Structure 1
C-alpha cells in the first residue's frame, strides 16, 4: 500500500492496522529503516551489530528494501577494506514516516478506548 492509499484509507475510516505496509512493518526491516534514518548513512557492520543480526539475515532484508526502492546500497572501500553503506531513499523516508503515522493512530485508538 502506498502512503497516498494509506492516507485515503485513514480518511475513509479504515482501521490503521490495515494501512501498515508489510514491507516496512516487519520488525527487522523497520529497525533497518529507523537506524538508517537516524544515522543518515549506516555501515553494514553497524546495522548488523545494532540489530543483532547475522550478515546473511541482514543481507536478505536489505535486498527486500532495495528492491522496494526504500534504501540505496553503496559498496566501496574504506582504506583497503570493503564496506557497504545503506541510506534511505526519498521513498524510504516517506514510507517510514507513514508507518510511524499509522502506528501513532493505533496508539491513539488504544489510549482513547482506555480513557487515557
Structure 2
C-alpha cells in the first residue's frame, strides 16, 4: 500500500495557545458577554479550583487579554476580571481560525 500523496491546500492557521486551552477559552467566552466578573462567579461557572483559575487568569493577564482589579467591598476582598480589547481580538481571531479549520474538513 502506497502512502497517500500529500494534498495541496492551505496550511492550518496558527492558533493562539493562550486562548486554545479549554479553561482559558471558557473564561474568555464568559468575559466576552459581561462587563466584568468576580473571581467567585468565574469559579462557579467554569468549575475550576481556586488555584487553577488563579493560574489561568495570571496567564491571561500576562498576555494582556484580561485586566484584574483587586479591591475591598464592605471590607471584603473582591477580585474583578475584565476582558481587554486585545483579549476580545484574540477571542475573535481564535473563532475565525477555528471556523477556517472546520471549513477545511470533509463533509
TM-score range, shorter chain: 0.7 to 0.9
1:36 match = 31
With the length of structure 1 as denominator, give the TM-score of the two structures.
Answer: 0.80
Change (3 A) 1:108 1:44: same
1:6 match = none
With the length of structure 2 as denominator, give the TM-score of the two structures.
Answer: 0.86
- Helix, strand or coil: the match of 2:26? helix
Aligned residues: 99
1:96 match = 91
Structure 1 runs (4+) greater than 2 angstroms displaced: none
2:49 match = 54
Shift of 1:39: 1.5
Of residues 45, 58, 73 in structure 1, which corresponds to 2:68?
A: 73
2:10 match = 13
- Helix, strand or coil: the match of 1:20? coil
- Helix, strand or coil: the match of 2:79? strand
User: Max radius of gyration: which structure?
Assistant: 2
Of residues 81, 93, 101 in structure 2, which corresponds to 1:106?
A: 101
